[in-house]
Amino acid sequence: MAGALLPPAAQAEESRSTAVLNDDGLYEQPWFLQSFLDLREDLEEAAAKGKHFAIIWEQKGCVYCKKMHLVNFARPEIQDYVRDNFEILQLNLFGARQVTDFDGEALEERALARKYAIAFTPTVQFFPPSVAELPNGAGRDLEVMRVPGYFEPPEFLAMFRFVGTKAYQSMSFGDYLANVGG
């Protein structure tokens, strides 16, 4: 019934989505990283596969999280690019699963969200391509880019390409969009 509220083009995209609604109320892509929730280990495994590591923070009932899954990730060009170039770990803003942070501290998802100053969902955090490139520090200091909130499909794909090509090393995301287009 929720699809009936979307415009026809979005309804068609939603019908192609591979997202699954889990018992915790979050939509999940079947290709998301299944992890022991050790962030350093997850980054090392992503690097070993030649991929980037990102965390997507979500919460139950988040309309834009749902749209990200049922519209953005339903687009083959987005799903293919992200699957081929990234390992995505989904965390719950209010979750209680224990996560081991890059610095070795073990804490619940909701405590890690506070430590990382995550305030909105969806929020995507992108991390350096290897553990060796992690700066000293914690939380926000470790990421190469953060996107707090929902992006429409063209900008959403551009955001992943911006990180995937390491364009963040030489320009801002705004400059990237202006030069490459969304």
- What is the rounded distance in angstroms from the CA atom of residue 161 to the CA atom of residue 178? 14
pLDDT at 3: 45
Give one DSSP letter per residue of 11-56, joined into a string. HHHHHT---EE-TTS-EE-TTSPP--SBHHHHHHHHHHTT-EEEEE
Give the CATH number of the domain where residue 104 resides: 3.40.30.10
pLDDT at 181: 64
Q: Identify the bridge partners of residue 92 per DSSP, sorted by sequence position.
A: 58
Which segments of the chain are extended strands (E)? 20-21, 27-28, 52-58, 86-92, 98-100, 106-108, 123-126, 145-148
What's the predicted TM-score (pTM) here? Answer: 0.88
**Which domain does 150 fall in, by range?**
2-180
Q: What does the angle CA 10 – CA 12 – CA 18 come to, to the nearest 5 degrees? A: 95
Burial class (CB in 10 A: 0-12, 13-18, 19+), 93: buried
The total number of structural domains in the chain stands at 1
90 — phi, psi (to 5°)? Answer: -95, 125
Per-residue pLDDT of 137-166, as tens digits, reads 666 788 999 999 999 999 999 999 999 999
Segments of the chain scoring below 50 in pLDDT: 1-4, 6, 9-15
